[in-house]
């Protein structure tokens, strides 16, 4: 059963028939969603329609994940405006079938990891929490690389404590700090792995050459680079990940909401396809490569539900070419 796009009369009928959980009815409020609603059948986990990916040898995740950077305050600093809503977003994400959550010690700092634990601990079987270390935060919107071994060790300990875990499934080096030899940074993660504190290691914002070099030091299972339908700067890295069967985790998949506007080029195409621009941008990522694991972020249940419905969106491949052309031109 796929997403239904229907008008208000259709929604009323579905609710009367009680075949659908009305709490999961996704009613668009933006211009692009007017007269269109998607209803998710009761007891379904729609995110699962995005398919699965195996991280490393044994972490099987639903491809459409969740990015937990936006459940913090302005400037990714401090408490979110609505902590209770942030907790609801995380619980709803799991209900909808998401089992891959991305975070970092630097989001808040500490706040995102703490809210994840508050919302979801004890964690359901199969939930994979990927976190990162390698940044320090002097203030809102300020990010300073710190790849010194002593910092990475204490960052990892802090994440274990806040997430209430004995071992982190996927630990990503947030940035390779140019001030510290890469061998020292990756060697520290290799030691943490040997101590059983980290299961798998990933990288973030790296070139193909950096991935190749890192792999001479320690096994790497995933790469997290900025990438979206409108931002193809990491195409070569994606192709490398595809060839090497490594997970490619595109951050900024909605360009922080800019592709979500009905006035964007994607918005204009989406309106014709009776989908929201965010859904189309996420469906494009899922269709682009089987190694892509999108992690759209939001602080609102309404946006989460809209985004997850993208997993069920099927679009004629010829129309992707139109989207491709328009996105590249935008
Ligand atoms: N590795 C790195 O260096 C790095 C850097 C940045 C981010 N990340 C990771 O990537 C994840 C995603 O990146 P991101 O949060 O920067 O970008 P994003 O997912 O492209 O955009 C998130 C923003 O879009 C808005 N949004 C989400 N769904 C929407 C919808 N359906 N309609 C309208 N607006 C919507 C959200 O606002 P609302 O809260 O109002 O919904 C939020 O401000 C982060 O959570 C984080 O885990 C990694």
Count Cα atoms within 13 angstroms, Cβ side, for 200: 20
Residue 196, judged by CB atoms within 10 A of its CB (0-12, 13-18, 19+), counts as exposed
Whether residue 230 has its Cβ less than 6 Å from ligand 1:
no
According to the model, what pLDDT value does residue 33 have?
33
pLDDT tens profile 212-232: 999 999 999 999 999 998 888
Beta-ladder partners of 26: 38
pLDDT tens profile 233-258: 999 999 999 999 999 999 998 877 67
pLDDT at 15 over 70: no
Give the ligand 1 atom nearest the CA of 254.
20
According to the model, what pLDDT value does residue 43 have?
52
Give the chain's count of helices (H) and strands (E). 11, 13
pLDDT at 35 over 70: no
According to the model, what pLDDT value does residue 42 have?
42
Q: Between the CA atoms of 312, 14, 21 and 86, what dihedral angle is there, to the nearest 10 degrees?
A: 70
Query: Ligand 1 centroid to 260 CA: how many Å?
Result: 11
Q: 35-49, 115-129, 188-202, 288-302: which has the minimum mean pLDDT?
A: 35-49
Query: Ligand 1 centroid to 173 CA: how many Å?
Result: 19
Using CA positions, which residue lies closest to atom 29 of ligand 1?
303
Give the ligand 1 atom nearest the CA of 102.
47
Count Cα atoms within 13 angstroms, Cβ side, for 115: 31
Count Cα atoms within 13 angstroms, Cβ side, for 132: 31
pLDDT tens profile 139-165: 999 999 999 999 999 999 999 999 999
Strand pairing report for 100-102 and 144-145 = unpaired
Average pLDDT over residues 53-77: 98
Cα gap 202→220, rounded to integer Å: 5
Whether residue 312 has its Cβ less than 6 Å from ligand 1:
no
Sign of CA dihedral 103, 108, 114, 119: negative
Kindly indicate the confidence band of residue 78, based on its pLDDT and cuts at 50, 70 and 90: very high
* Alpha-helical regions (H) of the chain: 8-17, 83-95, 111-120, 149-163, 182-194, 208-215, 235-244, 265-273, 277-288, 301-308, 317-329
Whether residue 279 has its Cβ less than 6 Å from ligand 1:
no
Whether residue 281 has its Cβ less than 6 Å from ligand 1:
no
According to the model, what pLDDT value does residue 266 have?
80
Helical pair 208-215 and 182-194, crossing angle rounded to 10 deg: 50
Query: Ligand 1 centroid to 77 CA: how many Å?
Result: 15
Average pLDDT over residues 77-96: 98
Using CA positions, which residue lies closest to atom 17 of ligand 1?
252
Kindly report the average pLDDT of the chain as a whole number. 86
The token pair that represents 258 in the structure block: 């800019």
The token pair that represents 40 in the structure block: 């998710």
Cα gap 214→218, rounded to integer Å: 6
Secondary structure class of 17 (helix, strand, coil): helix
Whether residue 229 has its Cβ less than 6 Å from ligand 1:
no
Out of 90, 234, 252, 311, mutate this one to test ligand 1's pocket (max ligand atoms within 8 Å of CB): namely 252
Whether residue 65 has its Cβ less than 6 Å from ligand 1:
no
pTM recorded for the entire structure: 0.88
Secondary structure class of 159 (helix, strand, coil): helix
> pLDDT above 70 covers what percent of the chain?
84
Out of 254, 301, 308, mutate this one to test ligand 1's pocket (max ligand atoms within 8 Å of CB): namely 254
How many other CB atoms sit within 10 Å of the CB of residue 32?
Answer: 24
Beta-ladder partners of 318: none
The token pair that represents 187 in the structure block: 């060697």
Whether residue 253 has its Cβ less than 6 Å from ligand 1:
yes
pLDDT at 18 over 70: no
Query: Ligand 1 centroid to 257 CA: how many Å?
Result: 7
Q: Is the peptide bond before 122 cis (omega within 30 degrees of 0)?
A: yes
Using CA positions, which residue lies closest to atom 23 of ligand 1?
256
Whether residue 204 has its Cβ less than 6 Å from ligand 1:
yes
Whole-angstrom CA distances from 83 to 69, 79, 145 are 13, 7, 28
pLDDT at 92 over 50: yes
């Amino acid at each position: 059963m796929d997403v239904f796009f229907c008008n208000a009369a259709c929604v009323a009928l579905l609710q009367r028939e009680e075949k659908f959980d009305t709490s999961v009815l996704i009613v668009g409020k933006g211009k692009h969603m007017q007269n269109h609603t998607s209803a998710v059948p009761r007891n379904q986990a729609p995110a699962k329609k995005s398919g699965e990916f195996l991280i490393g040898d044994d972490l099987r995740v639903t491809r459409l994940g969740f990015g937990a950077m936006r459940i913090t305050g302005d400037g990714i600093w401090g408490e979110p405006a609505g902590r209770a809503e942030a907790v609801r977003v995380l619980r709803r994400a799991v209900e909808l079938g998401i089992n891959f959550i991305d975070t970092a010690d630097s989001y808040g700092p500490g706040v995102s990891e703490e809210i994840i634990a508050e919302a979801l601990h004890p964690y359901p079987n199969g939930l994979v929490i990927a976190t990162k270390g390698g940044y320090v935060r002097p203030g809102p919107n300020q990010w300073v690389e710190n790849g010194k071994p002593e910092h990475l060790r204490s960052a990892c300990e802090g994440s274990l404590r806040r997430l209430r875990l004995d071992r982190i499934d996927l630990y990503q080096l947030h940035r390779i700090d140019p001030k510290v030899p890469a061998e020292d940074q990756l060697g520290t993660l290799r030691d943490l792995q040997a101590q059983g504190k980290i299961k798998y290691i990933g990288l973030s914002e790296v070139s193909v050459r950096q991935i190749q070099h890192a792999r001479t030091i320690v096994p790497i299972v995933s790469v997290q680079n900025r990438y979206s339908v409108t931002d193809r700067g990491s195409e070569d890295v994606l192709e490398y990940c595809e060839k090497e069967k490594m997970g490619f985790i595109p951050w900024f998949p909605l360009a922080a909401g800019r592709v979500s506007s009905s006035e964007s080029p994607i918005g204009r195409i989406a309106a014709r396809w009776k989908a929201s621009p965010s859904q189309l941008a996420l469906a494009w990522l899922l269709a682009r490569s089987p190694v892509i694991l999108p992690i759209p972020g939001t602080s609102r249940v309404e946006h989460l539900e809209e985004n997850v419905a993208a997993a069920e969106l099927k679009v004629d491949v010829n129309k992707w070419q139109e989207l491709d052309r328009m996105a590249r031109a935008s």
